[in-house]
Structure 1
Amino acid sequence: MKIAVDAMGGDFAPEAIVEGVMLAAAELPEHVTIVLIGKQSALQPLMQKHNAEAVANIELVNAEDVIEMSEHPTKALSQKPNSSIGVGFKLLKDGQVSAFCSAGNTGAMHVGALFSIKAIEGILRPCIAGFVPQLTGGHAVMLDIGANADCKPEMLAQFGVVGSIYAQYIFGIDQPRVALMNIGSEEQKGSLVAQAAHQLLKENRRINFVGNIEGGDFFDGKADVIITDGFTGNTMFKLGESFYKVASQRGISDEFLDKTNYESVGGSPILGVNGNVIIAHGISSPLAIKNMISLAIRQVESNAYTKIAQALS
């Protein structure tokens, strides 16, 4: 198994990325190799500093260009095919790596996935999934958390199917409980889109739909899969992540709040595409990069994206 990592993506790249790769490499199974993609001139001194060249399970692939955070995704990908993101997707498309991870330009990662490995046939819109820690233990999969700010009811209903399959194979949950994020538990509550989505989810016999949940249920363990549009999902997810920061600033140490720290999982998968693509926060630390790589390995081993493709075929 080869996991490609964009060495140039993120606010603290390439230093934080290389350090994170070194943390991951120390614990990697023997069959896993990390492919680090970026400018050799920038990476070689860091590799030497961390004695990475002596580590057998790290490979270096040169990419001279970098897509900056502020660049337009589609334009940047077409104008910079030799960027670290462009090279990463070429390796993924050609089957030379099993997953591609980056803390770089999120838009470029999303567009790059659609242009290279493409959406699974039957997928209305690929989405980004987040992991919400639950007070009862484990995590709930939340989707969408930012790829689709506006969603039609049919898209939300399909997120229920995609999220259910993902939770089943990533977490080993038989019949994951799927819930729709809404402003009330009653069936008739919410926007016209939410009400229509509720009916579609309710009628879908392929999922274990348990109804609506509210914001106050976010961490309560009432669902294994939380469905919402990308605007609401992104807002709620980032609010949830802020709890750790607030607690730290106030000198509060709490085992559960520690799990809301973005570093604890490290990345979010793009679901609904023909491959394993993980995106991370631009502010990613070495620990976040290490955990992102762990998530990528688990996702490759689960073979979740092919299970999603089979379900929609």
Structure 2
Amino acid sequence: MRIALDAMGGDFAPEAIIDGAILATQRLKDDITIVLVGKKDVIHSYLKKKDFNSSRIAIVHADEVISMGEHPTKALTQKPNSSISVGYYLLKTKEVGAFCSAGNTGAMMVGAMFSVKAVEGVIRPCIANLLPKLNGSTGIFLDVGANADCKPEVLEQFGEIGYTYAKYVLGIKNPKVGLMNLGEEEGKGTVLTQAAHQLLKGNKNINFIGNVEGRDLFNDKADVVVCDGFTGNVILKMAESIYDIMASKNMSDPFFDRFNYEAVGGSPILGVNGNVVIGHGVSSPLAIANMLDLASSLVRANISEHFKEIYSA
């Protein structure tokens, strides 16, 4: 298995990214090769400085970099040899099984849409995030930022996408799907959530259990929580802040430690023709290593092919 990693993307690139790749070689299975994409001389020089020489890491040259503040579409058009563009080329041509980056999130999303493209039948690809559960298990909620405004049929599809991910990646036999709302009752919510509820309720391909509230995120009521990207992003940032506040007060708890972005390392873009993971801009080496681990689980689950099977039927 080969996983491409944008060596130039992130606030602390390339050092933190390369350190994360080195750490990953110590943690991931021996059949995984990490392909660092970026300026070859810079990457090679840093690996030499770290006295690292292993076939577990390969280098593919890309002489341009898309910075965090650049306009995504313009940058991808004007910089065809950027590390993000080259990473997507490797994914599109199947030279790698997944592509990861802690770089410009917008460029990663636009690159996914215009390079590997959405799976035929998917209305809107989305970004998902894992949910730590109080019972020790893991759930998923989506979307967390790609689609701030959604139509009812898009939320219904998020339910299908999340159900599929939970089944094949998280290993949950018949995942419970809930719709984030301001009340459990069927008639509660906005025009959007009321219409989405009816679509999800009538969908025979998923195990829809009805509305869930914010207090249900971390219990076992639902394995998959569906929401629009605006709501999901607010939830994600709030959860991250809880960990930050506890850390600032020198408080530690095994459950809340799972709120740390480093614990998972990234969020997958689901619904595209390939395995893509976006990392936090401030990603540390540990976060990068865990992002690569997440990417490997997507490849092993063959998740993008499962989406194709669903929507080609």
TM range (shorter): over 0.9
Aligned match of 2:276? 277
Within 5 A, what are the aligned runs for 1:284-303? Answer: 284-303=283-302
Q: For residue 252 of structure 2, what is the amino acid of its counterpart?
A: S
Rounded to whole Å, the distance in 1 between the matches of 2:51 and 2:193 is 53
The answer as to 2:11 corresponding to 1:11 is: yes
When normalised by structure 1's length, the TM-score is 0.98
Aligned match of 2:230? 231
SS in 2 for 1:226: strand
Aligned match of 2:70? 71
The answer as to 2:254 corresponding to 1:255 is: yes
Aligned match of 2:120? 121
Rounded to whole Å, the distance in 1 between the matches of 2:49 and 2:256 is 34
Rounded to whole Å, the distance in 2 between the matches of 1:126 and 1:183 is 25
Post-superposition offset of 1:73:
0.8
Q: Aligned-pair RMSD on alpha carbons?
A: 0.8
Q: Deviations over 1:97-147 (max 9, x none)?
A: 100000001111111111111100000000000001010122111110000
Aligned match of 1:137? 136
Post-superposition offset of 1:27:
2.2
Rounded to whole Å, the distance in 2 between the matches of 1:251 and 1:4 is 36
Aligned match of 1:2? 2
Aligned match of 1:49? 49
SS in 2 for 1:171: coil
Rounded to whole Å, the distance in 2 between the matches of 1:105 and 1:217 is 32
Q: Deviations over 1:236-266 (max 9, x none)?
A: 0111111111111111110001000000000
Rounded to whole Å, the distance in 2 between the matches of 1:138 and 1:117 is 32
Post-superposition offset of 1:83:
0.3
Aligned match of 2:20? 20
Q: Deviations over 1:18-75 (max 9, x none)?
A: 11001001123221100001112322221112222x1121001111100011111111
Within 5 A, what are the aligned runs for 1:155-174? Answer: 155-174=154-173
When normalised by structure 2's length, the TM-score is 0.98
Count, aligned residues: 312
Identity of aligned residues (%): 57
Residue ranges of structure 2 left out of the alignment (5+ in a row): none
Post-superposition offset of 1:309:
1.1
Q: For residue 21 of structure 1, what is the amino acid of its counterpart?
A: A
Q: Deviations over 1:78-98 (max 9, x none)?
A: 110100001000111111010
Rounded to whole Å, the distance in 2 between the matches of 1:306 and 1:241 is 31
Within 5 A, what are the aligned runs for 1:157-236? Answer: 157-236=156-235
Rounded to whole Å, the distance in 1 between the matches of 2:171 and 2:217 is 21
Rounded to whole Å, the distance in 1 between the matches of 2:124 and 2:286 is 31
Q: Deviations over 1:172-224 (max 9, x none)?
A: 11110000000011111111000000000000011000111111111112111
Rounded to whole Å, the distance in 1 between the matches of 2:81 and 2:186 is 50
